Amino acid sequence: MDNIDSIDLQILKHLQENSNINIKELAGKLFLTVTPVYERIKRLERDGYIMKYVALLDKKKLNLGMTVFCNVRLKEHAKNVGSNFVKDIVALPEIIECYNIAGDYDFMLKILVEDMSSYQDFVMNKLSTIENIGNTQSVFVMGEIKHSTALAI
């Protein structure tokens, strides 16, 4: 029911780089006609290999040019009650990503803001109001060398 071949992989590889390519052109690259390519894409969507199609926007143009990684340690007594914390994190749109990590800290957040003063505002008025947060460590991004959404398939 649920296995993919090398043609599927090729299709995925193209779509994760540019999902606006039309099926005819994609079919040409794969030396096929539109029908099999169309049906394969639909199957890959149905089976969950393709989760969604999105537009990637320019952070800087939209005044979100500052990236900060924020490591978070929960209070000792709260280690097992992560669910409230998770709900609060998901609700904050500045937090683009949140990972439960191994090591010195419990969570790592990736945060996008306009500048340093908005980051200060975020930490002071939003992040710090989340209960159970023990302490945090901010790692500021000076430059973005590489940023891809494409998997190495």
Q: Where on the chain is the footprint of its own copies (CB under 8 A)?
A: 12, 15-20, 47-59, 61-62, 64, 67, 69, 86, 89-90, 93-103, 107-108, 112, 139-153
29 binds DNA (CB under 7 A): no
* Other beta carbons within 10 Å of 132: 17
Q: Which of 75, 87, 52, 85 is CA-nearest to residue 135?
A: 75
CA distance 134 to 81: 13
Phi and psi at residue 50, to the nearest 5°: -95, 120
Q: Which is nearer to DNA, 53 or 103 (CB)?
A: 53
Among the listed ranges 17-25, 101-109, 122-130, 133-141, the one in contact with DNA (CB under 7 A) is 17-25
CA distance 36 to 94: 41
- Contact between 13 and DNA by CB under 7 A: the answer reads no
For 44, residues 6+ apart whose C-beta sits below 8 A from its C-beta are 4, 8, 11, 12, 50
Cβ 45 to DNA shortest distance, Å: 9
**Residue 66 C-beta: closest distance to DNA, Å:** 29
Query: Is residue 34 a contact residue for DNA (CB under 7 A)?
Result: yes
Distance CA 8, CA 76 (A): 47
Residue 96's binding partner among DNA, its own copies, none (Cβ under 5 to 8 angstroms by kind) is its own copies
Among residue numbers 41 through 60, which ones bind DNA (CB under 7 A)? 42
Applying CB under 7 A, the residues found at the interface with DNA are 5, 7, 22-25, 27, 31-36, 38-40, 42
